[in-house]
Homo-oligomer: A and B are copies of this chain.
Amino acid sequence: MLSPGATIGILGGGQLARMLALAGARLGLKSHVFSPVADDPAFDVCSARTRADFLDEAALAAFADAVDVVTYEFENVPARTAEVLEAHCPVRPNPKILALTQDRLIEKQFVRGLGIPTADFADVSDAGSLARAVAALGRPSILKTRRFGYDGKGQTHIREGVDLAQAFATLGGAPCILEGFVPFVKEVSVVAARGVDGSFRAYDVCENVHEHHILATTTAPAAISEATARQAIDMARAIAQDADYVGVLAVEMFVVADAQGERLVVNEIAPRVHNSGHWTLDGAVTSQFEQHMRAVAGMPLGSTRRHGRQVVMRNLIGADADTWAGILADDGACLHLYGKTESRPGRKMGHVTRILD
């Protein structure tokens, strides 16, 4: 177990890194942020900074030598980066989760291998395999690049009438996966943590609403049955255990309701703190950010108990953040702004949380 005063290295300097550094400081942990972007928001709240490219091996080695453990705020850490870091200090979560989650095909195979339902899927490497996949999975279905997709980027819908060769070309001819349509009634996620000792703690399953493929609101707890919630948490636990995961992870799931009742379909694993866990900053005894820092430092996990009857988190995307003065004046609204110097459409600028009693 690391002691207070230890330094956590964080790869990436965005809002997740910033909130991790702020949470670490509560526990007396120092943060050293590594990012190639000069004005990244985490640089403002850490005790040491490295501005370098993620493939700059000398900078990575010096960074890893200067910290006690390295963690990351994003899943697209290059494999070589993790390899260089691991030669110098522990990297948590275990980078093998990166290989799993950077490729949608491998991720789905992994989840299925645990006996957990996912959407039907097929490997697509060219127009021919796309045609065979569409024949098998039907329309509508979704074609996604296997790698580097987020917030709706790198995907296209295969509806009736869509030309398959053109759809495949739209995604640049990259290796893809076709996912069958899931007629879901809501999207939920489990934000949970696993400790170095194998302990596991989950927050209340929460319900997510996306707009334009970007998370708009999260409500905790989700309006699902207790049995479904338990099942969701069991799925997240199985994933974390099998991956020998250490830290906070989020598992996004669809809830499908049919004559048999509710059932869950796992959509995606995020091997990091997650936007759908931001409500825990104000709405839970231990925030997901502190929980992650505890886990990667080898410390015991904290209580995930929720405050209030219901907690609602709303993202401030782009110009939404310009309404900050109104939010500050709204009694009971907890405002978080990420200190980004430039507002762009679709950019996550902050969030606001309300605890309802």
Q: Which residues of A contact B (CB under 8 A)?
A: 1, 3-5, 18, 21-22, 25-28, 30, 43-47, 282, 285-286, 294, 299-300, 302-303, 305, 307-308, 321, 324-325, 328-329, 331-332, 334-339, 341, 350, 355
Indicate if the CB atoms of A285 and B282 lie closer than 8 Å. Answer: yes
A325 contact set on B, CB distance < 8 A: 1, 299-300
> Distance in Å from the Cβ of A163 to the closest Cβ of chain B?
46
A328 contact set on B, CB distance < 8 A: 27, 294, 299-300, 302
A3 contact set on B, CB distance < 8 A: 324
Q: Contacts A5-B341, A328-B294, A331-B303 hold; do A44 and B25 have CB atoms under 8 A apart?
A: yes
> Distance in Å from the Cβ of A330 to the closest Cβ of chain B?
9
Q: Chain copies in the assembly? A: 2
Residue of B1, B47, B332, B335 near A44 (CB, 8 A) is B47
> Distance in Å from the Cβ of A121 to the closest Cβ of chain B?
40
> Distance in Å from the Cβ of A57 to the closest Cβ of chain B?
28
Indicate if the CB atoms of A4 and B339 lie closer than 8 Å. Answer: yes
Indicate if the CB atoms of B282 and A337 lie closer than 8 Å. Answer: no
Indicate if the CB atoms of A5 and B286 lie closer than 8 Å. Answer: no
A299 contact set on B, CB distance < 8 A: 325, 328
Indicate if the CB atoms of B22 and A337 lie closer than 8 Å. Answer: no
CB-nearest residue of chain B to A357: B305
Indicate if the CB atoms of A28 and B300 lie closer than 8 Å. Answer: no
A27 contact set on B, CB distance < 8 A: 328, 335-337
Indicate if the CB atoms of A334 and B286 lie closer than 8 Å. Answer: yes
Indicate if the CB atoms of A339 and B44 lie closer than 8 Å. Answer: no
Q: Contacts A1-B325, A45-B22, A355-B285 hold; do A337 and B28 have CB atoms under 8 A apart?
A: yes
A332 contact set on B, CB distance < 8 A: 285, 303, 305
> Distance in Å from the Cβ of A90 to the closest Cβ of chain B?
19
Indicate if the CB atoms of A285 and B334 lie closer than 8 Å. Answer: yes
> Could you tell me the distance between the alpha carbons of A307 and B328 in the complex, rounded to whole angstroms?
19
26 A-B pairs in the complex with CB atoms less than 8 angstroms apart: A4-B337, A5-B339, A22-B22, A22-B25, A25-B44, A25-B45, A26-B335, A26-B336, A28-B324, A28-B339, A44-B47, A45-B45, A45-B46, A282-B285, A285-B334, A286-B334, A294-B328, A299-B325, A299-B328, A300-B328, A300-B329, A302-B328, A302-B334, A305-B332, A307-B308, A307-B355
